[in-house]
Structure 1
Amino acid sequence: MKGKLDSIKIINRLNESLPVNSFKSIILIFLITFTISLISSNAFAVQMTAVLSPQQDQAQPVFTANRFITLQYDQASELAKKFMKVDESLKFKANSSTPGMAALISDINQDIIKEKQSPIFIENATIDYTATLRGGSDRLAMSYKVEFKPSISGFTLPNNNSGAASLVDLDWRGFSTSRPLQLQVPNVGNISINYPSSLLEIKFPEIAQQLKSSEIFKDPLFNFEDIGTPMDRWHFLFDPTGSQASTAGSGYQELGGAKVVSIFSLGESSFREGVMEAKESNAKAVIDGTDVNIHSSHPPPSGQIQIGGFASVSKSGNSEIAYVSENAPEGTATATGGFPIQVLGTLGGMMAAVSVFVLWKARK
């Protein structure tokens, strides 16, 4: 609650020192900058975005997983000759008509219920899958990006008091699964989209077999546990009217009659939220008699949850629930209905930092 009050106090101080028109213009500029940063980095970070309406109880969140893996070897080795000119990629889209999708959805539903005890239900989903192999004189670079867009329902919890706030389950956001998640892809065949060895198994099965025991290749892509970071480490933004977010095109939607918008954002590093760090791991292997150093990395997690209404998060044990009302409690609204400038500047910088991380990895 302290973080929320701090945000509101910042707005009030800005309102006292700036004319209303100037304030709105500055807020609009920062929101547009934030939106551009979000779009530019959305393709690279371990990412989750969702817009939730307690009244509609249906949503289409987006989960994006990325992984970068490098195999480094001696330039004079036979492995270097094998991979020198490798330039392979695999891209495909999957939906309800793709063989294996129904089983994939069922598997994830089971894991969410078992691991998160969340009542949400995935009814349908689409997947955008991209994998690349790029060879060089001393290394083979692999990258994977999987965008998972489920259609979910059931996040609004039963509430016998019709006049009270809506209750929204948030535990599902940090799901993970170690299942293979196999799909039948035209011109490719059966492929597991959950492990970072899929393209290697298709193009160089004998190499993939020798790497099977490496923990790096056992680490699933569908691991969004970092998005399950406690909500008190997410930054809270509150727009009492939704007008500024809507004008800036930040993705805010007026849902279920609620004109108020609450936005929770993960990824900012600060004294209060802590430091969000990139995950990196190293391993060694021997492939065809050649010593290989393996390096795996992906950027720090970032996420955004927009909730139609004024949301306050409460924790009970390991579960987190948002209490959502259509309007803000009396005394919390501001004259301008804007976001705190300091917060938006920090978030914009955070998202830009993710892009820099990915560019650095690509050039390394």
Structure 2
Amino acid sequence: MSRAVIMSVLLATLIVVGTSTPAWAAQLDARINPNSDTSPFKMNYQKTIFIEYPNGGALFDELHEKTWTFAGTADSSNPGVQNLMKKLNENIADNGSQARISDLNVLYDIHLKGRNINSSIDYKIILTGTLSEYVITKDQVRTLVDLGWRGLSTNAEIVVDGVDINHPINLLEEEEPFLYEIIAGTEAEEILSKNMINADFILQQPLTNWHFLFDPTGINVDAGTFGLDEEIAGFVVSSWTMGESSIREGRQVERVFEAEINSDQLYVIRSVQSSDQANLSTIGFGALDILDGVEIAGVTPTPPEDYMTTSTGDFPVMIVYGMAGLAAVAGIAFFFVSNRSLKNEKQGQQGIDPSRLVGYQTSASSGGYQTNRGEAQLKDDSDYQQTRSVYENTAPQETTTPPPTAANREEAACGCAASAEMGSECDCAMQGSCLCDASCGCSADICKEQVNSMS
């Protein structure tokens, strides 16, 4: 029974994860041309709302098989878009910026999808427009560009084609009255009343915390051969990027708001948005500054000759070189200390004194060849217990030396005579044939046969 419950929970989790849409919050993408009166921008707002009914109930009966979509586009001729453009410009002015939105297009897509364990409502609003009046002042050297307009937000009702695209609760009140009756007056109503068009965090995050890079492609000699845009010919392009979760920028996580509703069953309303993201670029090299509380960029066609930077902005390269130098000094100090330690250690022979060793020959001539084999042994065994092998557990085997014969003493032309005296194995026996004459007194069988055959 418990195994079946666990499998059911895992299956439900896979269904939720597999059928949910990634929810992104505000995403800004803009390129400012200080040599032009207008520049394009794009802002994307997304949010996903989940209505969960794990125990079934009236909402399950109402929503689990339901699907609908509200989608459309509108330009600045639409009264709702005109109202939105007005509210955004008011918000820009309240933030101290002089820039204005001179043209605006709106794409909206709201989609409800019912399922057996939950229903989701995906909201997406995309604004594409034209920005103007962002140039504060301009001379032959530098152009001051206003960047304080980027927090495009409004809390007003924005009705486009009869749909309030800014507040999810208003659409649910008209399209899902049964759901609205359950939500009304609860904490869930407050969650669904939050405005969709909200990019406050993009403005609140200082540009000095954004990642900065500049692209020098426009000033390269051969840049024109690669189909370079005429707008950036002869210029570098500065880029600021926001969205990374780090110590410098701060920890950025999904914004999740959740509320429970006790009706005929327990229902959960959850709103999910990820952290905001932004890509802002300007033609020319941009140096950040603040003017009357508004962030600006002083833009020049090329960077200063002595300018060096990394992706983090104004982090001096000399500091990087200094850190590398400190690491080199630390390495030299380590080797110096190690060398002194080695010199202080006892030098010279650390094992057995060579004067206490004696060599023994282990082979002699046999017939027409000589094998030079030997070994070193201690002259005495006084310190044998200190030098012997720890694996030597058995006594060495004793070898029997045959008594010397008359032939040995006469030093006959026998290759086995020396071997017999030293107690080693007979060379004739090793070779498989006797190398001696009839006077051989060796005890090996092969020698005896040879002597008999010559007698």
TM normalised by structure 2 equals 0.57
Matching residue of 2:255: 279
Matching residue of 1:264: 240
- How many angstroms apart in 2 are the aligned matches of 1:243 and 1:204? 58
Matching residue of 2:272: 297
Structure with more strand by fraction: 1
Matching residue of 1:359: none
Matching residue of 1:127: 106
* Structure 2: runs of 5+ lacking an equivalent: 1-20, 312-455
Matching residue of 2:444: none
8 Å CA contact retained: 2:23, 2:47 = no
Aligned with 2:48 (options 68, 74, 77): 68
Distance change (3 Å), C-alpha of 1:60 and 1:327:
same
* Structure 1: runs of 5+ lacking an equivalent: 1-40, 341-364
User: Deviation of residue 170 (structure 1)?
Assistant: 0.9
8 Å CA contact retained: 2:157, 2:167 = yes
SS in 2 for 1:255: helix
Q: Which has the larger radius of gyration?
A: 2
Matches within 5 A, 1:288-327: 289-316=264-291, 318-327=293-302
User: Deviation of residue 98 (structure 1)?
Assistant: 2.5
Deviation digits for residues 225-266 of structure 1 (CA, Å, limit 9, x no counterpart): 12111101210011123489xx9xxxx955376521001111
8 Å CA contact retained: 2:166, 2:196 = yes
User: Deviation of residue 44 (structure 1)?
Assistant: 4.4
Matching residue of 2:153: 176
Matching residue of 1:22: none
Matching residue of 1:349: none
8 Å CA contact retained: 2:218, 2:233 = no
Deviation digits for residues 300-334 of structure 1 (CA, Å, limit 9, x no counterpart): 21110110000011135642111111111113389
8 Å CA contact retained: 1:285, 1:291 = yes
State the one-letter code of the partner of 2:140: G
- How many angstroms apart in 2 are the aligned matches of 1:56 and 1:133? 42
8 Å CA contact retained: 1:69, 1:297 = yes
- How many angstroms apart in 1 are the aligned matches of 2:144 and 2:182? 49
Matching residue of 2:215: 239
User: Deviation of residue 74 (structure 1)?
Assistant: 4.1
State the one-letter code of the partner of 1:110: E
SS in 1 for 2:154: coil
TM normalised by structure 1 equals 0.70
Deviation digits for residues 271-303 of structure 1 (CA, Å, limit 9, x no counterpart): 33332222111123356x443211111112111
Residue 111, structure 1, aligned to residue 91, structure 2: yes
Q: Whose relative contact order is higher, 1 or 2, with alpha carbons under 8 Å and at least 6 apart? A: 1
Aligned positions, number? 282
8 Å CA contact retained: 2:25, 2:47 = no
Distance change (3 Å), C-alpha of 1:271 and 1:203:
same
- How many angstroms apart in 2 are the aligned matches of 1:319 and 1:42? 33
Matching residue of 2:327: none
Residue 101, structure 1, aligned to residue 73, structure 2: no
Matching residue of 1:203: 175
User: Deviation of residue 138 (structure 1)?
Assistant: 2.8
Distance change (3 Å), C-alpha of 1:278 and 1:76:
closer
- How many angstroms apart in 2 are the aligned matches of 1:89 and 1:176? 24
Structure 1 stretches of 4+ moved >6 Å: none
Worse-matched range after superposition: 293-302 or 102-111: 102-111
Matching residue of 2:61: 81
State the one-letter code of the partner of 2:299: V
User: Deviation of residue 65 (structure 1)?
Assistant: 0.4
8 Å CA contact retained: 2:88, 2:154 = yes
- How many angstroms apart in 1 are the aligned matches of 2:54 and 2:143? 60
- How many angstroms apart in 2 are the aligned matches of 1:279 and 1:76? 27
Residue 167, structure 1, aligned to residue 144, structure 2: yes
Distance change (3 Å), C-alpha of 1:144 and 1:291:
same
